[in-house]
Structure 1
Amino acid sequence: MGQLFEQVLTVQSEHLDVLGHVNNVTYVSWMQDVALGHTTALGLTLEDYLQMNHAMVASEHHVKYRKACLLGDQLILRTWLGELGPFSSVRHYLFYRATDQSIVFQGHTVWVCVEISTGKLKRLSPTFVQAYQPLDPEIDPTHFASE
């Protein structure tokens, strides 16, 4: 079963919009960054994708902005894997502020497997099925008390 993966970051000026809050596009970029970090931690790199001639690409993003984040906020970007289908995997995201453990953002992405050389949909390889295991049901991704 899968585990949670986290990255820590501090909000910088380049993350902000004209109102001084983290820009909504930045959150999507962070979704991609933490997904890539998790995938790499699971042992799959760009070189692996190229060698196998298939990769996971985003098909759908669903996002919910819960609280504004400001310059200097330290955030924990948390991700985990969910439902696994023959051609797809769902990845969940929960970003929270370290100081007060407030959830600031939630979302999920449907990732689909494609053949790199053609761009056509491809069934998940055994390598992907082994790596992209759903979160252990005993783990509560909203539990922060032990951190």
Structure 2
Amino acid sequence: MSSTFFDLKLQVQPEHIDSLGHVNNVVYVQWMQDVASAHIETLGLGMAQFLEMKHAMVAVEHHVQYRKAAFAGEELTLRTWLSEINALYLFRQYVFYRPQDQSVLFVAQTKWACVEIDSGRPKRMSPSFSQAYQPIPADLNPMDFNQYPPQPA
């Protein structure tokens, strides 16, 4: 079974702004974590399940591209989806979008690995992970915000 993309809407707050007057780059990384966490909760395999199973997915590599600045008060859509999964790694994509001017502000990818929580050692993903976490279908274009409007928050 394949999954779909997941949207999280937010409004840029004053605390997100740095001394240059736009959203700080570190905030984008926090938003990556926030939208990924919200997505896995909707897939039914989030933090509570990780703790029960004694293993979890952890970020091992990020690739980020900052395209345009975001500013206080703006409404943004944070979109994420799974693009690839194998026995050891899961690849998650992100695009942060500003509907007001139809701008892509940020794109990123994270490589996640499965680890035992107690030891931190790598672990093969259990069937629970591979069943819940599936890549989106090839014919679904998550970069097309006109064809797939953001879902309600």
TM-score when scaled to structure 1? Answer: 0.98
Where 1:99 maps in the other structure, the secondary structure is helix
CA distance in 2 between counterparts of 1:20 and 1:44 reads 37
CA distance in 1 between counterparts of 2:52 and 2:85 reads 23
What is the aligned partner in structure 1 of residue 79 from structure 2?
Answer: 78
Q: Percent of counterpart pairs with the same letter?
A: 52
What is the aligned partner in structure 1 of residue 137 from structure 2?
Answer: 136
CA distance in 2 between counterparts of 1:16 and 1:64 reads 18
What is the aligned partner in structure 1 of residue 117 from structure 2?
Answer: 116
What is the aligned partner in structure 2 of residue 33 from structure 1?
Answer: 34
**Are 1:6 and 2:7 an aligned pair?**
yes
CA RMSD of aligned residues (A): 0.7
Give the C-alpha shift of residue 40 in structure 1.
Answer: 0.2
Runs of 4+ in structure 1 off by over 3 angstroms are none
**What one-letter code is carried by the residue in structure 2 that aligns with 1:15?**
H
Residues 16-73 of structure 1: per-residue CA shift (max 9 Å, x gap): 1101110000000000000000000000122211111100000001000000101111
Q: Aligned pairs, how many?
A: 147
* Stretches of structure 1 lacking an aligned partner (at least 5 in a row): none
CA distance in 1 between counterparts of 2:81 and 2:47 reads 20
CA distance in 2 between counterparts of 1:117 and 1:74 reads 39
